[in-house]
Amino acid sequence: MSYELRVERLIDATPEEVFDAYTDPEAVNAWFTILDEGMIVENEIDLRVGGKWVSKWGFSPEEMFRETNTFLVIDRPHRLVSKSEGSSPDGATVETEVEITFRDEGGKTLMTVVQTGFPDEGLRDFLATEGWNGAFDRISAYLAAQKSKS
Amino acid sequence: MSLTGLKKHVQILEDANLVTSEKVGRTRQCRLGPEQLEDAVHWIELYRRQWNRRLDGLETYLEEKRGAQR
């Protein structure tokens, strides 16, 4: 049992067009802001396995969201997998994994985003499987391991 | 586990905002605290809105690009 965030969209373009628009820095800056006038956005993309996509966006320089994606799989135009580290202006951070697939649907593209690994859901699952009875020491060990990871 | 050991573990969990405990009569009841879980819900909602907004933008961008090429 693990939580996942799934978002799907059928886009009227080929998988190649969608994949390229999704990963080209100039295109990314264009579509990031196309619906949000006044949004500040910066994207740097090093599209290779191990490379990083660094994004900053927000409506004022003091209140910026940041996200760094490290590419794990690049399979143009089918699939893109990355490790994501996100942070909000209040300093909260979250580490997740993002898998995006681009599937040809008769000339259109079904783009599916699956994001997994939201940490506290993991903890909830851990508690659900391990239970509470006599589990305090194991939970403490789990928390210590989480802390040393971050 | 000794009672002292147990108390120490509960304290760690309380410090991490994962449980709250309350003395009820002669027993202490522990409850899985909501704060950390709400934090996850917050992130999931934030990302859900963000993905929808980004896909709206990507779709609009590709429509405009296609329109310009015709």
Provide the pLDDT confidence category of residue A3 given band limits of 50, 70 and 90. low
CA distances to A31, A131, B14 from B56, rounded to whole Å, are: 9, 42, 42
What are A12-46's pLDDT values in tens digits?
A: 999 999 999 999 999 999 998 899 888 899 999 99
Q: B22 forms bridges with which residues in the sheet?
A: B29
List the CATH number of the domain containing A95: 3.30.530.20
Rounded CA-CA distance A62/A75 in Å is: 36
Count of the separate structural domains present in chain A: 2
Residues of A in contact with B47 (CB under 8 A): 5, 86, 96, 115
The arithmetic mean of pLDDT across residues A96-110, rounded, is 95
- The answer on A111 and A144 residing in a single domain is no
Provide the pLDDT confidence category of residue A122 given band limits of 50, 70 and 90. low
What are B3-55's pLDDT values in tens digits?
A: 777 777 777 777 766 677 778 888 877 776 655 555 667 788 889 999 999 99
Give the DSSP H or E segment for B7. Answer: helix B3-15
Domain of residue A141: give its range. 118-150
Where are chain B's structural domains? 1-32, 34-70
Contact A32, A135 (CB under 8 A): no
- The answer on A22 and A49 residing in a single domain is yes
Report how far Cα B5 is from the mean position of its chain's Cα atoms.
29
- The answer on A133 and A110 residing in a single domain is no
Rounded CA-CA distance B35/B48 in Å is: 20
| Residue among A3, A22, A123 whose CB faces B58 most closely | A22
Residues of A in contact with B46 (CB under 8 A): 88
* Spatial CA neighbour of A9 closest among B53, B45, B13: B53
**B40 in contact with A, Cβ within 8 Å:** yes
- The answer on A134 and A123 residing in a single domain is yes
Q: A17 forms bridges with which residues in the sheet?
A: none
| Residue among A33, A35, A120 whose CB faces B36 most closely | A120
- The answer on A107 and A79 residing in a single domain is yes
* d(CA A75, nearest CA chain B) in Å: 19
Chain A residues in contact with chain B using a Cβ-Cβ cutoff of 8 Å:
3, 5, 7, 9, 11-13, 17-18, 21-22, 27, 30-36, 86, 88, 92, 94, 96, 111, 113, 115, 118-121, 123-124, 127, 132, 134, 136-137, 139-140, 143
